[in-house]
Protein backbone atom coordinates (compact mmCIF):
# COMPACT_ATOMS: atom_id res chain seq x y z
CA UNK A 1 0.00 0.00 0.00
CA UNK A 2 1.40 3.40 -0.99
CA UNK A 3 1.66 6.26 1.50
CA UNK A 4 -1.26 8.17 -0.04
CA UNK A 5 -3.55 5.17 0.53
CA UNK A 6 -2.55 5.14 4.23
CA UNK A 7 -3.86 8.66 4.85
CA UNK A 8 -7.19 9.02 6.68
CA UNK A 9 -8.70 10.66 3.56
CA UNK A 10 -7.64 12.08 0.22
CA UNK A 11 -5.82 15.37 0.91
CA UNK A 12 -7.76 18.43 -0.17
CA UNK A 13 -4.87 20.82 0.43
CA UNK A 14 -1.21 20.96 1.35
CA UNK A 15 -0.12 23.97 3.42
CA UNK A 16 3.52 24.77 4.12
CA UNK A 17 5.21 27.04 6.65
CA UNK A 18 7.81 29.48 5.34
CA UNK A 19 10.20 29.65 8.33
CA UNK A 20 9.68 27.77 11.61
CA UNK A 21 13.12 26.76 12.95
CA UNK A 22 15.50 29.02 14.85
CA UNK A 23 18.43 27.59 12.89
CA UNK A 24 16.77 28.40 9.55
CA UNK A 25 15.90 31.92 10.69
CA UNK A 26 19.50 32.52 11.76
CA UNK A 27 20.72 31.22 8.40
CA UNK A 28 18.37 33.55 6.52
CA UNK A 29 18.96 36.55 8.77
CA UNK A 30 15.19 37.00 9.25
CA UNK A 31 13.16 35.75 12.23
CA UNK A 32 9.38 35.86 11.72
CA UNK A 33 7.16 37.23 14.47
CA UNK A 34 4.18 35.16 13.33
CA UNK A 35 3.85 32.08 11.10
CA UNK A 36 3.35 32.59 7.38
CA UNK A 37 2.30 30.01 4.81
CA UNK A 38 2.06 29.03 1.17
CA UNK A 39 0.09 26.28 -0.56
CA UNK A 40 1.30 23.36 -2.65
CA UNK A 41 -0.78 21.46 -5.18
CA UNK A 42 -2.01 18.07 -4.02
CA UNK A 43 -0.78 16.73 -7.37
CA UNK A 44 2.76 17.30 -6.05
CA UNK A 45 2.26 14.55 -3.43
CA UNK A 46 4.08 11.26 -3.85
CA UNK A 47 5.99 8.65 -1.87
CA UNK A 48 9.56 7.41 -2.17
CA UNK A 49 10.85 7.35 -5.73
CA UNK A 50 12.39 9.79 -8.19
CA UNK A 51 12.00 13.50 -8.76
CA UNK A 52 12.81 15.37 -11.96
CA UNK A 53 14.99 18.44 -12.20
CA UNK A 54 13.84 19.94 -15.52
CA UNK A 55 16.42 20.43 -18.22
CA UNK A 56 17.53 24.06 -18.21
CA UNK A 57 17.20 24.40 -14.43
CA UNK A 58 20.05 24.25 -11.91
CA UNK A 59 18.69 25.05 -8.44
CA UNK A 60 16.66 22.12 -7.12
CA UNK A 61 16.79 22.26 -3.30
CA UNK A 62 15.53 19.84 -0.67
CA UNK A 63 13.89 20.67 2.68
CA UNK A 64 13.42 17.85 5.16
CA UNK A 65 10.29 18.53 7.23
CA UNK A 66 7.81 17.07 9.69
CA UNK A 67 4.40 16.66 8.02
CA UNK A 68 1.20 16.84 10.08
CA UNK A 69 -1.77 14.82 8.81
CA UNK A 70 -5.16 16.19 9.87
CA UNK A 71 -7.50 13.51 11.18
CA UNK A 72 -10.56 15.45 12.34
CA UNK A 73 -12.27 18.44 10.77
CA UNK A 74 -10.83 21.55 12.43
CA UNK A 75 -12.36 25.02 12.44
CA UNK A 76 -11.45 27.74 14.98
CA UNK A 77 -9.74 25.29 17.31
CA UNK A 78 -7.75 26.47 20.32
CA UNK A 79 -4.01 26.08 20.73
CA UNK A 80 -4.61 23.81 23.72
CA UNK A 81 -6.82 21.44 21.72
CA UNK A 82 -5.09 21.69 18.32
CA UNK A 83 -2.98 18.53 18.62
CA UNK A 84 -6.15 16.46 19.07
CA UNK A 85 -7.01 17.21 15.43
CA UNK A 86 -3.74 15.72 14.14
CA UNK A 87 -4.03 12.04 13.23
CA UNK A 88 -0.42 11.33 12.34
CA UNK A 89 3.00 12.75 11.57
CA UNK A 90 5.47 11.60 8.95
CA UNK A 91 8.54 12.68 7.00
CA UNK A 92 8.29 15.03 4.04
CA UNK A 93 10.62 16.66 1.55
CA UNK A 94 9.45 20.12 0.52
CA UNK A 95 11.32 20.24 -2.79
CA UNK A 96 11.60 23.47 -4.75
CA UNK A 97 13.11 24.65 -8.01
CA UNK A 98 14.56 28.09 -7.28
CA UNK A 99 14.90 28.86 -11.00
CA UNK A 100 11.19 29.79 -10.83
CA UNK A 101 11.09 31.24 -7.31
CA UNK A 102 11.69 34.90 -8.24
CA UNK A 103 8.84 34.91 -10.76
CA UNK A 104 6.40 33.40 -8.25
CA UNK A 105 6.70 36.44 -5.93
CA UNK A 106 6.27 34.39 -2.75
CA UNK A 107 3.48 32.07 -3.90
CA UNK A 108 5.95 29.27 -4.79
CA UNK A 109 3.34 27.96 -7.24
CA UNK A 110 5.66 26.91 -10.04
CA UNK A 111 8.77 26.48 -7.92
CA UNK A 112 7.26 24.03 -5.40
CA UNK A 113 4.07 22.55 -6.90
CA UNK A 114 5.57 20.53 -9.72
CA UNK A 115 4.47 16.91 -9.91
CA UNK A 116 6.38 14.83 -7.37
CA UNK A 117 7.75 17.82 -5.42
CA UNK A 118 6.13 16.79 -2.11
CA UNK A 119 7.28 13.28 -1.20
CA UNK A 120 5.92 12.07 2.16
CA UNK A 121 6.17 8.87 4.20
CA UNK A 122 6.91 6.03 4.01
CA UNK A 123 5.06 5.27 7.31
CA UNK A 124 2.71 7.23 9.55
CA UNK A 125 3.41 7.82 13.26
CA UNK A 126 0.27 7.98 15.39
CA UNK A 127 0.09 11.53 16.80
CA UNK A 128 -1.44 10.13 20.03
CA UNK A 129 1.78 8.22 20.69
CA UNK A 130 4.13 11.22 20.57
CA UNK A 131 4.41 14.65 22.12
CA UNK A 132 4.50 17.48 19.53
CA UNK A 133 7.72 18.85 21.02
CA UNK A 134 9.58 15.52 21.14
CA UNK A 135 10.10 14.72 17.45
CA UNK A 136 13.39 14.61 15.58
CA UNK A 137 13.90 15.40 11.88
CA UNK A 138 16.98 14.20 9.95
CA UNK A 139 17.98 14.44 6.29
CA UNK A 140 20.78 12.63 4.47
CA UNK A 141 22.17 13.32 0.99
CA UNK A 142 24.12 10.46 -0.55
CA UNK A 143 24.42 8.91 2.91
CA UNK A 144 25.77 12.05 4.62
CA UNK A 145 23.73 13.60 7.43
CA UNK A 146 23.02 17.22 6.38
CA UNK A 147 20.05 18.20 8.58
CA UNK A 148 19.24 17.29 12.17
CA UNK A 149 16.95 19.16 14.55
CA UNK A 150 14.04 18.64 16.91
CA UNK A 151 10.59 20.09 17.44
CA UNK A 152 11.44 21.23 20.97
CA UNK A 153 10.65 24.78 22.08
CA UNK A 154 14.38 25.59 21.89
CA UNK A 155 14.47 24.62 18.21
CA UNK A 156 11.11 25.80 16.88
CA UNK A 157 10.02 29.42 16.73
CA UNK A 158 6.38 28.26 16.86
CA UNK A 159 5.12 24.97 18.41
CA UNK A 160 3.60 22.47 15.98
CA UNK A 161 0.03 22.78 17.36
CA UNK A 162 0.11 26.52 16.66
CA UNK A 163 0.03 25.89 12.91
CA UNK A 164 -3.18 23.88 13.25
CA UNK A 165 -4.82 26.46 15.50
CA UNK A 166 -3.72 29.40 13.37
CA UNK A 167 -4.77 27.95 10.02
CA UNK A 168 -8.10 26.77 11.41
CA UNK A 169 -9.02 30.41 12.06
CA UNK A 170 -8.99 31.08 8.33
CA UNK A 171 -10.12 27.84 6.71
CA UNK A 172 -11.60 24.49 7.60
CA UNK A 173 -8.96 21.79 7.82
CA UNK A 174 -10.35 18.49 6.61
CA UNK A 175 -9.19 14.93 7.27
CA UNK A 176 -6.23 14.12 5.02
CA UNK A 177 -5.06 17.73 4.74
CA UNK A 178 -1.31 18.07 5.23
CA UNK A 179 0.73 20.79 6.96
CA UNK A 180 4.45 20.91 6.20
CA UNK A 181 6.04 22.51 9.26
CA UNK A 182 9.22 24.11 7.91
CA UNK A 183 12.82 22.98 7.57
CA UNK A 184 15.86 23.47 9.81
CA UNK A 185 19.20 24.80 8.56
CA UNK A 186 21.09 22.64 6.10
CA UNK A 187 18.83 22.77 3.07
CA UNK A 188 20.83 23.12 -0.12
CA UNK A 189 20.99 22.23 -3.82
CA UNK A 190 20.96 18.67 -5.15
CA UNK A 191 21.74 17.43 -8.65
CA UNK A 192 20.79 14.50 -10.88
CA UNK A 193 22.16 11.30 -9.33
CA UNK A 194 21.89 12.58 -5.75
CA UNK A 195 19.78 10.59 -3.29
CA UNK A 196 17.94 12.29 -0.40
CA UNK A 197 16.57 10.48 2.66
CA UNK A 198 14.36 12.09 5.32
CA UNK A 199 13.27 10.50 8.60
CA UNK A 200 11.09 11.65 11.50
CA UNK A 201 11.22 9.78 14.80
CA UNK A 202 10.14 10.12 18.41
CA UNK A 203 9.11 7.97 21.39
CA UNK A 204 10.76 4.96 19.78
CA UNK A 205 8.63 5.28 16.64
CA UNK A 206 9.83 6.19 13.16
CA UNK A 207 8.43 7.22 9.80
CA UNK A 208 11.12 5.16 8.11
CA UNK A 209 13.40 6.78 5.57
CA UNK A 210 11.68 8.69 2.76
CA UNK A 211 14.00 8.13 -0.21
CA UNK A 212 14.05 10.36 -3.29
CA UNK A 213 16.53 10.23 -6.16
CA UNK A 214 17.03 13.20 -8.49
CA UNK A 215 16.89 12.51 -12.22
CA UNK A 216 17.19 14.85 -15.20
CA UNK A 217 13.79 15.62 -16.69
CA UNK A 218 12.56 17.21 -19.87
CA UNK A 219 12.59 20.99 -20.13
CA UNK A 220 11.17 22.50 -23.30
CA UNK A 221 9.40 25.32 -21.44
CA UNK A 222 7.13 27.29 -23.76
CA UNK A 223 8.00 30.99 -23.59
CA UNK A 224 4.69 31.89 -25.26
CA UNK A 225 2.63 30.77 -22.28
CA UNK A 226 4.78 31.69 -19.28
CA UNK A 227 8.12 32.64 -17.81
CA UNK A 228 11.25 30.68 -18.57
CA UNK A 229 13.55 29.50 -15.75
CA UNK A 230 15.81 32.29 -14.50
CA UNK A 231 18.56 32.29 -11.90
CA UNK A 232 19.88 35.42 -10.21
CA UNK A 233 22.31 35.89 -7.36
CA UNK A 234 19.56 36.15 -4.73
CA UNK A 235 17.99 32.81 -5.73
CA UNK A 236 21.38 31.12 -6.00
CA UNK A 237 22.32 32.25 -2.48
CA UNK A 238 18.96 31.19 -1.02
CA UNK A 239 19.01 27.80 -2.75
CA UNK A 240 22.49 26.98 -1.50
CA UNK A 241 21.60 28.19 1.99
CA UNK A 242 24.16 31.00 2.10
CA UNK A 243 21.90 33.99 2.63
CA UNK A 244 23.11 36.92 4.69
CA UNK A 245 23.09 36.82 8.46
CA UNK A 246 23.50 40.43 9.58
CA UNK A 247 24.94 39.30 12.91
CA UNK A 248 28.23 39.09 11.14
CA UNK A 249 28.69 36.40 8.50
CA UNK A 250 29.13 37.42 4.88
CA UNK A 251 27.92 35.69 1.77
CA UNK A 252 30.47 33.98 -0.45
CA UNK A 253 32.42 35.83 -3.11
CA UNK A 254 30.65 36.96 -6.28
CA UNK A 255 30.40 34.51 -9.18
CA UNK A 256 32.90 35.26 -11.94
CA UNK A 257 30.25 36.18 -14.50
CA UNK A 258 28.57 38.66 -12.17
CA UNK A 259 31.88 40.18 -11.12
CA UNK A 260 32.88 40.69 -14.77
CA UNK A 261 29.60 42.46 -15.52
CA UNK A 262 30.08 44.76 -12.52
CA UNK A 263 33.64 45.53 -13.61
CA UNK A 264 32.30 46.64 -17.00
CA UNK A 265 29.62 48.91 -15.54
CA UNK A 266 30.29 52.49 -14.34
CA UNK A 267 29.04 53.47 -10.92
CA UNK A 268 27.02 56.27 -12.54
CA UNK A 269 24.95 53.72 -14.45
CA UNK A 270 24.51 51.48 -11.42
CA UNK A 271 23.50 54.48 -9.29
CA UNK A 272 20.83 55.46 -11.83
CA UNK A 273 19.33 51.97 -11.76
CA UNK A 274 19.27 51.94 -7.96
CA UNK A 275 17.51 55.30 -8.02
CA UNK A 276 14.93 53.84 -10.42
CA UNK A 277 14.23 51.25 -7.71
CA UNK A 278 13.76 53.90 -5.03
CA UNK A 279 17.25 53.65 -3.48
CA UNK A 280 18.94 57.04 -3.18
CA UNK A 281 21.22 56.66 -0.12
CA UNK A 282 23.66 54.29 -1.81
CA UNK A 283 26.65 56.56 -2.45
CA UNK A 284 29.53 56.55 0.03
CA UNK A 285 30.08 60.29 0.01
CA UNK A 286 33.45 62.02 -0.05
CA UNK A 287 35.66 59.06 -1.01
CA UNK A 288 37.65 58.74 -4.22
CA UNK A 289 40.27 56.35 -5.57
CA UNK A 290 43.85 56.79 -4.47
CA UNK A 291 44.89 55.96 -8.03
CA UNK A 292 42.80 57.44 -10.87
CA UNK A 293 41.38 54.81 -13.19
CA UNK A 294 40.88 52.28 -10.38
CA UNK A 295 37.93 49.89 -10.61
CA UNK A 296 36.87 48.02 -7.48
CA UNK A 297 34.22 45.28 -7.13
CA UNK A 298 33.69 43.15 -4.05
CA UNK A 299 31.58 42.02 -1.10
CA UNK A 300 31.49 44.20 2.01
CA UNK A 301 33.23 43.33 5.26
CA UNK A 302 32.80 46.06 7.87
CA UNK A 303 34.90 47.76 10.56
CA UNK A 304 33.74 50.55 12.88
CA UNK A 305 35.76 53.16 14.75
CA UNK A 306 34.18 55.19 17.56
CA UNK A 307 35.36 58.70 18.51
CA UNK A 308 38.70 58.77 20.25
CA UNK A 309 38.80 58.68 24.05
CA UNK A 310 42.01 58.08 25.92
CA UNK A 311 40.74 55.51 28.41
CA UNK A 312 38.95 53.52 25.72
CA UNK A 313 41.91 53.60 23.37
CA UNK A 314 44.12 52.30 26.15
CA UNK A 315 41.80 49.31 26.59
CA UNK A 316 40.86 48.71 22.94
CA UNK A 317 43.50 50.35 20.76
CA UNK A 318 46.61 48.37 21.58
CA UNK A 319 47.69 44.82 20.95
CA UNK A 320 45.68 42.61 18.61
CA UNK A 321 42.78 45.04 18.38
CA UNK A 322 39.61 44.94 16.26
CA UNK A 323 41.26 46.83 13.40
CA UNK A 324 44.03 44.26 13.07
CA UNK A 325 41.60 41.34 13.40
CA UNK A 326 39.39 42.77 10.65
CA UNK A 327 42.33 42.94 8.27
CA UNK A 328 43.58 39.48 9.27
CA UNK A 329 40.15 37.92 8.63
CA UNK A 330 39.63 39.34 5.13
CA UNK A 331 38.64 36.77 2.51
CA UNK A 332 39.34 36.84 -1.24
CA UNK A 333 36.96 39.20 -3.01
CA UNK A 334 35.97 41.17 0.10
CA UNK A 335 36.12 44.96 0.40
CA UNK A 336 36.84 46.23 3.90
CA UNK A 337 34.54 49.20 4.49
CA UNK A 338 35.55 51.39 7.46
CA UNK A 339 33.26 53.71 9.37
CA UNK A 340 35.38 56.67 10.50
CA UNK A 341 32.52 59.19 10.81
CA UNK A 342 33.92 61.23 7.87
CA UNK A 343 36.64 62.38 10.26
CA UNK A 344 39.62 63.60 8.21
CA UNK A 345 41.88 64.32 11.17
CA UNK A 346 43.64 60.97 11.37
CA UNK A 347 44.69 57.96 9.34
CA UNK A 348 42.59 54.78 9.49
CA UNK A 349 45.14 52.41 7.93
CA UNK A 350 48.72 52.37 6.72
CA UNK A 351 50.99 50.39 4.45
CA UNK A 352 51.39 47.28 6.67
CA UNK A 353 47.64 46.67 6.84
CA UNK A 354 47.27 47.39 3.12
CA UNK A 355 49.94 44.75 2.40
CA UNK A 356 48.06 42.27 4.59
CA UNK A 357 44.78 42.92 2.77
CA UNK A 358 46.49 42.54 -0.60
CA UNK A 359 48.12 39.24 0.41
CA UNK A 360 44.75 37.81 1.46
CA UNK A 361 43.17 38.60 -1.91
CA UNK A 362 40.95 41.44 -0.72
CA UNK A 363 39.21 43.40 -3.47
CA UNK A 364 39.84 46.79 -1.87
CA UNK A 365 39.42 49.15 1.07
CA UNK A 366 36.95 51.99 1.56
CA UNK A 367 37.23 54.45 4.44
CA UNK A 368 35.40 57.72 4.97
CA UNK A 369 38.49 58.81 6.92
CA UNK A 370 42.05 59.22 5.70
CA UNK A 371 45.10 57.06 4.94
CA UNK A 372 48.59 57.43 6.37
CA UNK A 373 51.75 56.23 4.57
CA UNK A 374 49.78 57.36 1.55
CA UNK A 375 52.45 56.86 -1.12
CA UNK A 376 53.51 53.50 0.31
CA UNK A 377 49.88 52.31 0.38
CA UNK A 378 49.50 53.31 -3.26
CA UNK A 379 52.55 51.24 -4.17
CA UNK A 380 50.86 48.15 -2.69
CA UNK A 381 48.51 48.21 -5.69
CA UNK A 382 45.29 47.52 -3.77
CA UNK A 383 42.22 49.62 -4.66
CA UNK A 384 41.83 52.15 -1.84
CA UNK A 385 39.10 54.79 -1.66
CA UNK A 386 39.34 57.50 1.04
CA UNK A 387 39.20 61.23 1.75
CA UNK A 388 42.94 61.50 1.17
CA UNK A 389 46.13 61.51 3.21
CA UNK A 390 46.79 62.30 6.88
CA UNK A 391 49.97 61.50 8.83
CA UNK A 392 48.45 61.02 12.29
CA UNK A 393 48.09 57.59 13.86
CA UNK A 394 44.73 56.03 14.69
CA UNK A 395 44.61 57.01 18.38
CA UNK A 396 44.40 60.72 17.66
CA UNK A 397 40.74 60.55 16.61
CA UNK A 398 39.55 56.94 16.64
CA UNK A 399 39.13 53.84 18.77
CA UNK A 400 38.75 50.52 16.85
CA UNK A 401 35.55 49.10 18.30
CA UNK A 402 33.69 46.38 16.36
CA UNK A 403 33.45 44.57 13.03
CA UNK A 404 31.09 42.55 10.82
CA UNK A 405 28.05 44.63 11.78
CA UNK A 406 25.95 47.15 9.85
CA UNK A 407 27.82 50.48 9.73
CA UNK A 408 27.52 54.01 8.34
CA UNK A 409 30.30 55.03 5.96
CA UNK A 410 30.13 58.32 4.07
CA UNK A 411 26.45 58.76 4.97
CA UNK A 412 25.54 55.36 3.52
CA UNK A 413 24.48 52.20 5.35
CA UNK A 414 26.60 49.13 4.62
CA UNK A 415 25.53 45.64 5.66
CA UNK A 416 28.11 42.82 5.61
CA UNK A 417 27.56 41.02 2.30
CA UNK A 418 26.46 44.12 0.35
CA UNK A 419 28.13 44.57 -3.03
CA UNK A 420 30.60 47.46 -3.22
CA UNK A 421 31.58 49.03 -6.56
CA UNK A 422 34.03 51.91 -6.98
CA UNK A 423 35.55 53.90 -9.84
CA UNK A 424 36.64 57.48 -10.53
CA UNK A 425 33.13 58.78 -9.73
CA UNK A 426 33.21 57.28 -6.23
CA UNK A 427 31.80 54.24 -4.42
CA UNK A 428 28.24 52.84 -4.32
CA UNK A 429 26.54 50.12 -2.28
CA UNK A 430 24.20 47.57 -3.90
CA UNK A 431 21.96 45.28 -1.83
CA UNK A 432 23.00 41.72 -2.59
CA UNK A 433 19.51 40.47 -3.49
CA UNK A 434 19.07 42.89 -6.43
CA UNK A 435 22.62 43.19 -7.73
CA UNK A 436 22.11 41.03 -10.80
CA UNK A 437 18.99 42.80 -12.03
CA UNK A 438 20.64 46.18 -11.36
CA UNK A 439 23.81 45.43 -13.32
CA UNK A 440 21.89 43.86 -16.23
CA UNK A 441 19.67 46.94 -16.48
CA UNK A 442 22.68 49.25 -16.23
CA UNK A 443 24.54 47.41 -18.99
CA UNK A 444 21.53 47.64 -21.28
CA UNK A 445 21.28 51.39 -20.58
CA UNK A 446 24.99 51.74 -21.34
CA UNK A 447 24.44 50.01 -24.67
CA UNK A 448 21.54 52.33 -25.44
CA UNK A 449 23.58 55.41 -24.52
CA UNK A 450 26.39 54.29 -26.81
CA UNK A 451 23.92 53.83 -29.66
CA UNK A 452 22.35 57.25 -29.00
CA UNK A 453 25.78 58.91 -28.88
CA UNK A 454 26.64 57.37 -32.24
CA UNK A 455 23.41 58.73 -33.78
CA UNK A 456 24.06 62.21 -32.35
CA UNK A 457 27.61 62.07 -33.73
CA UNK A 458 26.04 61.48 -37.15
CA UNK A 459 24.37 64.88 -36.85
CA UNK A 460 20.92 63.89 -35.53
CA UNK A 461 19.21 66.14 -32.94
CA UNK A 462 18.68 64.79 -29.45
CA UNK A 463 14.94 65.51 -29.53
CA UNK A 464 13.19 62.13 -29.77
CA UNK A 465 16.53 60.35 -29.61
CA UNK A 466 17.59 60.84 -26.02
CA UNK A 467 15.76 58.76 -24.89
CA UNK A 468 14.59 57.07 -28.10
CA UNK A 469 10.92 57.52 -28.97
CA UNK A 470 8.82 56.82 -32.06
CA UNK A 471 10.89 55.64 -35.04
CA UNK A 472 14.09 56.02 -33.08
CA UNK A 473 12.74 53.64 -30.45
CA UNK A 474 11.95 51.06 -33.14
CA UNK A 475 15.46 51.41 -34.57
CA UNK A 476 16.96 51.04 -31.11
CA UNK A 477 14.93 47.88 -30.44
CA UNK A 478 16.07 46.42 -33.75
CA UNK A 479 19.70 47.21 -32.92
CA UNK A 480 19.30 45.72 -29.43
CA UNK A 481 17.82 42.48 -30.78
CA UNK A 482 20.65 42.17 -33.29
CA UNK A 483 23.23 42.65 -30.56
CA UNK A 484 21.48 40.15 -28.28
- Count of other CB atoms within 10 angstroms of residue 35: 17
Is 223 annotated in some ligand binding site?
Answer: no
**What's the rounded Cα separation, in Å, for the pair 398 and 343?**
9
Is 352 annotated in some ligand binding site?
Answer: yes
Is 456 annotated in some ligand binding site?
Answer: no
SS3 sequence, the chain?
Answer: CCHHHHCCCCCCCEEEECCCEHHHHHHHCCCCCCCCEEEECHHHEECCEEEEEECCCCCEECCEEEEEEECCCECCCCCCCHHHHEEEEEEEECCEEHHHHHHHCCCCHHHHCCCCCEEECCCCEEHHHCCCCCCEEEEEECCEEEEEEECCCCCECCCHHHHHHHHHCCCCECCCCEEECCCCCCCCEECCCCEEEEEEEECCEECCCEEEEEEEECCCCCCCCCCCCCCCHHHHHHHHCCCCECCCECCCCCCHHHHHHHHHCCHHHHHHHHHHCCCCCCEECCCEECCCCCCEEEEEEEEEEEECCHHHHHHHCCCCCHHHHHHHCCCCCEEEEEECCCCCCCECCCHHHHHHHHHCCCCEEEECCEECCHHHHHHHCCCEEECCECCCCHHHCEEEEEECCCEEECCEEECCCCEEEEECCEEEEECHHHHHHHHHHHHHHHHHHHHHHHHHHCCCCCCCECCECHHHHHHHHHHHHHHC
**Distances from the Cα of 464 to the Cα of 116, 441, 443, 453, 479, angstroms:** 53, 21, 21, 13, 17
Is 351 annotated in some ligand binding site?
Answer: yes
Is 353 annotated in some ligand binding site?
Answer: yes
> What length is written for the chain?
484
Is 410 annotated in some ligand binding site?
Answer: no
**What's the rounded Cα separation, in Å, for the pair 392 and 395?**
8
Q: Indicate the annotated binding residues.
A: 350-353, 372-373
Q: Indicate the annotated binding residues for substrate.
A: 350-353, 372
Q: Indicate the annotated binding residues for Mg(2+).
A: 373
Amino acid sequence: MGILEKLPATPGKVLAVHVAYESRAAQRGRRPKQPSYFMKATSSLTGSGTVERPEGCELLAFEGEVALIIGTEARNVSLEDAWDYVAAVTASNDLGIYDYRAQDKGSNTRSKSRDGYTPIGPELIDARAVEPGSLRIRTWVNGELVQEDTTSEESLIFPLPQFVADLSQHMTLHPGDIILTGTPAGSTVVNPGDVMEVEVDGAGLTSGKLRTEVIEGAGAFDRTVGMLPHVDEKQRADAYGTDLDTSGSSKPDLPDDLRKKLEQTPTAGLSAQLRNRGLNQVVIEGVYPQTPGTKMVGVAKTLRFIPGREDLFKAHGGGYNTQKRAFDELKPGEVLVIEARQEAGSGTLGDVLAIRAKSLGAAGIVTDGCVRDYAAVEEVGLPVFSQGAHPAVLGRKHVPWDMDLPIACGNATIIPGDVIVGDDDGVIVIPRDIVEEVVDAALEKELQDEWVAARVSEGNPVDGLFPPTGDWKDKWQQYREERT
